[in-house]
Amino acid sequence: MCGINGIMYFNGDKLDRSILVNMNISIQHRGPDAGNVEIFGNIGLGHRRLSIIDLARHADQPMISDDGQYAIVYNGEIYNFAALKDDLLALGFNFKTSSDTEVVLKAYEAWGTSCFQKFNGMFALAIVDKNIDELIIARDSLGIKPLYLHHSLGLIVFSSEIKAILEHPKVNRAINNQSISEYMWYGNTLGNNTFYRDICEVLPGHFLRFSKSGCFTQAAFFEAQSVEEHEISEAHAVAKTRELLAESVERHM
């Protein structure tokens, strides 16, 4: 399953490692195989690992790029990572692990945020560019993997679970009454709302970029409205559905 955590300060505050450690401990159940935190200036990353593909310690996270510029924490599985790895090898990249995490990291090195459109799978991730003190967080196109965010003046806190965000003493615990109403009516909160007023979900198919000055941008790399409609026969639709289902099962395996 795995889990990710992170903190970013914009106001010059010194990052308290113990807060990041406590966040990581609070989601230990998501990844019992390893738990690490690293601080990169004004940004801290934490990860809980459930080892699946590459069981070796060198595949633990946060994972650092070969040149030391980028660091990543990642939760998920990219089903087409082998094909992407072949593309990256052709571009001259070398790999030290057999993990899909390293493929995701090198894909970002090669293609920037355009890499998210190439991923066939489920993911929640954070990437730090240490050269410019920049943070990127992203969530898969359907929001399969959870990713929550607190964004206030001078502070970013994110995690795979809300309770980890609440480990930060500066996060306001005020209840979102609108979300309670939504839950009572519909059985869930709507949009990116949560039960906490100052904690939201990162929208599916979106990434956010935070600069060291506190400026941020949000952009979609996938939108359901962009799916094209095709006029085909029922027989063709049935055959195509079987084909796509078989391909999907193969990727998942």
Rounded to 10 deg, the angle between the 81-90 and 100-111 helix axes is 50
Element spanning 49, H or E: strand 43-49
Contact 76, 49 (CB under 8 A): no
Contact 23, 154 (CB under 8 A): no
Of 2, 115, 200, 215, which one is the catalytic site residue? 2
**Which residue, among 86, 83, 80, has the nearest Cα to 120 in the 3D structure?**
80
2 is catalytic: yes
Angle CA 86–72–115, to nearest 5: 45
Which tokens sit at 19? 């807060």
Angle CA 80–82–83, to nearest 5: 70
Residues with a known catalytic role: 2
